[in-house]
Amino acid sequence: MSLLLDEIALATARLAEAGVPSPRTDAEEIAAFVHGVRRGQLHTVKDADFDALFWEGIARREAREPLQHITGRAFFRYLSLEVGPGVFVPRPETEVVAGWAIDRLREMDVASPTVVDLGTGSGAIALSIAQEVALARVHAVEIDPDAYGWAKRNISELGQGRVTLHPEDLAEALREMNGTVDLVISNPPYIPPGSIPRHPEVRDYDPARALYGSGNDGLDQVRAVERTARRLLRPGGFVAVEHADVQGSAVYLIFAEENGWRDVRVQQDLTRRDRFVTARFGQE
């Protein structure tokens, strides 16, 4: 066994003791990042090339700093995104939301569908749709200046010229596009005020503006998404909104039939928890 693999084994034990959920994976990711190789190539790093900066990264992860802040990258579906302080780190649960939207767009009889991502953060959802749906035209909306900066970097690198970034509030965004959009998608802030996220990576490092919704139930931003989607969508267009696993029923009721919503569904993530609500606007 090489020196690096020995050190990874020791680091794995340290991270496990610190309560890190995926200690081996994280130790290997940090090792790969520090040594400039892929995880599958760690065994090729010569003993003489071992970099002690590996242990600096392990100490940061042991303190529960997000892995993505240490490496500067977050993986989302088929993308590698730049992330860091000031932007929400995209989660695997949101990949399911994006996947649902991608499936609907592929089923549409629309040559070049128009999509709006409200509160894009790092740009993860918008960029995934642009990458996976041929000829989609995606508009990403983000008002927070820190998150906007990260989204701009990612869109410049990965947007293929088909993602347009707008520095607007999701409640007022893109009025010039009213009635023309095929799909609206959003992962807005929804944690109720006063609630404390369980994981320190979220609680201590993700920006509060991306986490905590307003209103007694935390769902005022979801209500704003509903109003904006109702304004933007063409008849027959779709909306998908992420929420906490205990909010499915409450978000379902926000998309009321009297406001034109049809086929409202609470959708589950891969762990079979309620994760997002989808609906169709009006009739085709």
The answer to whether 4 and 42 are in contact (CB under 8 A) is yes
Q: Are 245 and 274 in contact (CB under 8 A)?
A: yes
Q: Which of 187, 255, 276, 281 is catalytic?
A: 187
Three-state secondary structure call for residue 38: coil
* Residue 188 known to be catalytic: yes
Q: How far is CA 261 from the centre of its chain?
A: 25
Q: Choosing from 33, 54, 88, 281, which is the catalytic residue? A: 88
**186 vs 192: CA distance, rounded Å:** 17
Q: Is 187 one of the catalytic residues? A: yes
Pair of tokens at residue 249 = 């029923």
If you write DSSP's letter for every residue of 83-136 in order, what string do you get? Answer: --TTSPPP-HHHHHHHHHHHHHHHHSS-SS-EEEEES-TTTHHHHHHHHHSTT-
Question: HEC profile for 243-260?
Answer: CCCCCHHHHHHHCCHHHC
Contact 30, 73 (CB under 8 A): no
Q: For residue 107, what are its two tokens?
A: 């089923």
121 and 150 in contact (C-beta within 8 Å)? yes
Active site residue 154: no
Which residue is catalytic, options 90, 113, 188, 189? 188
Instruction: Report, as residue numbers or ranges, the catalytic residues.
Output: 88, 187-188
